[in-house]
Structure formats: C-alpha cells, structure tokens
Amino acid sequence: MKTSALFLGLLCLFISVTAYANEPLRLATTTSTENSGLLAKLLPKFTQQTGVLVDVIAVGTGKALQIARNGDADVVIVHARQAENIFVAEGFGVNRRDVMENDFVLVGPANDPAAISGKNSTLKALTKIARTQSTFISRGDHSGTHKKEHALWQHVGINSMGHWHKSIGQGMGKALLMANELSAYTLTDRGTWLAYKDKLSLKILNEGGILLKNPYGIIAVNPALHKDIQYLKAMRLIAWLTSPTGQQQIDQFKKNGQQLFYPTAIKDVITSE
C-alpha cells in the first residue's frame, strides 16, 4: 500500500516535471502577424528545429504589452516603436531586436474628396483631409496602427479633431468596412488591406513614404520580474527569428502572391543572396 502510494507520488512528480519541461512558450503578438498566416508558417519550423512549442496570444499591440507586463507572456512581437522603447525602459522587457517590417497605406474613396492622391507627402495628404474635414476612420483602440495614426496627426500638428475624425475602437478589418460604408479615409497596414481590398470600393491614395514604415520588434519579458517566465525559450525564439534561417522564412512568406513582411534583422545577408 505504502509503496504504491510512493509510486503514485513519484509518477505525479514525473508527469508534472515533464509537463513543465514541455510547457509552451507564450508569445503575445499583434493580430496582423497571426491573421496574415505568417506565424502559422514560421512557428512549426521553429518548433521542429528547437522542440519548443509556442502558444500564440493574438491581440492588439497595447494589449500584448499589457499581458507581458502582467507576466502572462514570455515574449512579445509588436509594432509600435515608441511603446516598445517605454516597455524596455520601464524594465519589463529585455533584448529588443528588429525582426521585420512592412508598411501602412492611406486608403480612401475612389472619388477622393480631399484630393490627396498624386505626388503628395503623407503629411500633406493628412493635412488636406483635416482641412476639408473629410471623414476619417480611426481605430481608436491603442493598437499599433492606431498609435501610428496618432503619431502622424501629431507630426502634422493637428491635435483637436472634430466630428469628421471617427474613433471606432475596433479592429482593422472592421475599420476598413466602415470606411467603405461611410466613404471615408483610413490608415491601414498593407496585409489587412490586401486581405480586404476585393470587398471594398476604396483605393490606395498614399503609400511608400518613410513615415508609413511599420517596423516589428521582438522583446523578451524580463525574467527578473516574474518567477515563471521562460526566458531561455524566449531567447531561442528571438535568436531563431533573427537568424539567417528565420529571416529567410520571413522573406519567402507570401500571401496571394504578395510579399507582406521584409526581414530587417540581418538585411545584408538576405539581399546578397
């Protein structure tokens, strides 16, 4: 009886130890990386090479960083440089690396009431939208895209916005659909735009500017803050994504024949190929 109890106890211990060893890495990231299918392509390869399983929590950038602050994630992939810098400066994150980038585009109704198409800079285009009080849909949800939009308006020097600026607090897809319904302008990441453009009568009216770049960073959560952070596994993911193999995988990822993300960790290696 005693021995069987001891055996049972040992078995439990063994199971819990192995379960602990195989505990998945918790990655909090933005919806754009998950919805585009990029992670579904990258992570199985990472798991295959390292044996580390990954659980993905796909939310907005603000929420992803908040989850990491609470110690509910081990590593984050987000796109809001300023918020990332604060996150690291406050000591919540360590070892930030650039991983990849894509870009934002300014879309709007085909008849373009604010006349922003053509050779306008992004800031000029936004100024025109504000001056003509054309309806503009804002994500308003503290996501990376919303933070980008906010920063752009500040660049233009427009801080108080009237009724033409509609803050909807919803995801990118919903924002595009609303812009379509209301014949409004909006700022979107290219990935979501490509996924939705067939359903919309909107057009890209401004793109390619340096201000519309959208860099993604990966940050490990500071293991000193919470006891159960899987720091080593987090660093393995960072190492793999910024390695030639990981960067190549990002470079080769295509959706509907379009490249969505451009590797930035070791650009030279990729371009010299």
Partner 1 sequence: MASNSSTQLLLKTLLRVNEINQASVAAFQLLISGNSDIWQIISLSFGVSLTAILIATPVALVVSFFLAFFQFPLRRTLISLFNTFMSVPAVIIGLTLYLLLSRSGPLGNLGLLFTSKAMIIGQILLCFPLLVAMAHSSFQAADRRAWETAITLGAKPWRAFFTLMYELRFGLIAAVVAGFGRIIAEIGCSMMVGGNILNATRNIPTAIALETSKGEFAQGIALGIVLLVLSLALNAGVSIFQGRGELQA
**Chain residues in the site for partner 1 (CB under 8 A):** 59-60, 62-63, 66-67, 140-142, 163, 166-170, 178, 180-183, 227
Beta carbon of residue 124, minimum distance to partner 1 (angstroms, whole number):
26
Provide CB contacts within 8 A for 102, sequence distance 6+.
189, 190, 191, 214, 216, 260, 261, 262
Beta carbon of residue 69, minimum distance to partner 1 (angstroms, whole number):
9
Judge contact between 112 and 270, C-beta under 8 A. no
Query: Judged by CB, which is closer to partner 1: 49, or 70?
Result: 70
Query: Judged by CB, which is closer to partner 1: 74, or 141?
Result: 141
Beta carbon of residue 105, minimum distance to partner 1 (angstroms, whole number):
22
C-alpha 92/C-alpha 25 separation (Å) is 17
Query: Judged by CB, which is closer to partner 1: 136, or 216?
Result: 136
3-state helix, strand, coil in the chain (%, to 5): 45, 25, 30
**How many Cα atoms sit within 13 Å of 36 on the Cβ side?**
26
Beta carbon of residue 245, minimum distance to partner 1 (angstroms, whole number):
34
Query: Judged by CB, which is closer to partner 1: 59, or 76?
Result: 59
CA-to-CA dists, residue 12 to 24, 69, 199, 201, 259, angstroms? 20, 32, 54, 60, 48
Tokens of 184: 């409004």
Judge contact between 32 and 191, C-beta under 8 A. yes
Beta carbon of residue 249, minimum distance to partner 1 (angstroms, whole number):
30
Query: Judged by CB, which is closer to partner 1: 37, or 140?
Result: 140
Beta carbon of residue 142, minimum distance to partner 1 (angstroms, whole number):
5
Query: Judged by CB, which is closer to partner 1: 182, or 269?
Result: 182
